[in-house]
Structure 1
Amino acid sequence: MRLLGDSDLLGLVREDDGRAFTEIYERYWDRLYATAWHHLKDATAAEEVVQDVFVTIWQKRHTLIIEELSKYLAAMVRYGVYRYLAREQQRRTLHDNAAIKPGVDAYELEHKLLLEMVNKLSGELPEKCRIVFRATKLHDQSLGDVARQLNISPKTAEAHLTKALRLIRMNLGKAFHFFF
């Protein structure tokens, strides 16, 4: 694998060859990490950015068209650093705004942020799932009452709630990774 060029390795990665992917990873990780660290001055953040680059490469391996791998990876790290810095700025702004308000402690801030994320994520659910989720979880209505209001069976309402909870939990995990 070490003797293969980048384009050959990419061709093998497109065919799900894990060894070729590992070779690309080992070939470029140090360089990409150094670039990310240079801009962020934070080892953990730099590692996170570089790992995200490689995860993206693997996830999109079947559809990516890359002419020059080194330039492509460098650009991905650069954009990863920009996204990280933007998230950090947003987090600091939220924290600073909350800190200005008298009587707001860290627990209230975390609760408010979590509630905002859940509300935003629930807005992305399919219509019936969103209605059932918000009514039962955010407005404390019983599942039976919601089913009667929507003129659906309790089992259907339960299925909508189960689907909504599964999607919220899955996306909430991604959101926590994104924000924290």
Structure 2
Amino acid sequence: MNAYHSKIDEELIYLLQTEDELAFTEIYNRYWNKLYYISHKLLKDTDAAEEIVQEVFLIIWKKRNSLHIQNLHQYLAAMTRYAVFRHLAKEKKFNKQENSEGILNAEVADEIDLDNKILLEIITKLSNKLPEKCRLVFQYNKIHDQSLQEVAEQLNISQKTAEAHLTKALRVIRANFGDVTHFTYFLISLLFLKK
């Protein structure tokens, strides 16, 4: 039996950071199917889902020395959802580019822009109702795409406090969603799950 198979995630993370390729292989084997499931469930596209999972593992290997992972499963799942979000954003950008070449009609591009504006408006309105620190952590992290570490430094609070504010903000915003359309909910779910 493979000695790495019995190791817990924390041990594998430590070994990965020491450039242990067998630890990386064990993480890959342990989590590939789970990440593929997440990716495919969101995209419904086998090739794109596989590509995204490969991209996630490539990033893990490239950044192995600088990773700060507390829960490997959650970290990888969040990375996968964020990669799906980026993939969808690139697709929209590509669709807009096609439109400028006359392949898509203007109404479709306008609808995509409108969806983006409505989504941002809903998120901004909901986040504006949060207490100040909660609102700032949420907006800097989710809308301005800053890491929690950057947000914590900017607001002069600990990263744990920033995480607590973000968790509270997400809980409040999700609770206030009510009658949002399925498509908007899907996009917002992706936004909430990215790190």
TM-score, normalization by structure 1: 0.55
Structure 2 gaps of 5+ residues are 105-195
Tell me what 1:84 maps to. Answer: 87
Rounded to whole Å, the distance in 2 between the matches of 1:100 and 1:11 is 50
CA RMSD of aligned residues (A): 1.3
Rounded to whole Å, the distance in 2 between the matches of 1:71 and 1:95 is 36
Tell me what 2:163 maps to. Answer: none
Match of residue 63, structure 1, among 56, 63, 66: 66
Tell me what 1:113 maps to. Answer: none
Matches within 5 A, 1:22-101: 22-99=25-102
Match of residue 14, structure 2, among 11, 16, 28: 11
**1:28-51 residue CA offsets vs partner (Å, 9 max, x unmatched):** 000100110011111111111111
Larger relative contact order (C-alpha < 8 A, sep ≥ 6)? 2
Structure 1 gaps of 5+ residues are 102-180
Equivalenced residues, count: 101
- Cα distance change of structure 1 residues 26 and 63 upon mapping to structure 2, 3 Å threshold: same
**1:58-101 residue CA offsets vs partner (Å, 9 max, x unmatched):** 00101101000000000000100000000001101111221259
Tell me what 1:20 maps to. Answer: 23
Rounded to whole Å, the distance in 1 between the matches of 2:29 and 2:103 is 46
Matches within 5 A, 1:132-171: none
Rounded to whole Å, the distance in 1 between the matches of 2:33 and 2:103 is 41
Structure 1 runs of 4+ off > 4 angstroms?
Answer: none
Rounded to whole Å, the distance in 1 between the matches of 2:103 and 2:21 is 50
- For 1:16, what is the secondary structure of its paired residue? coil
Share of identical aligned residues, percent? 46
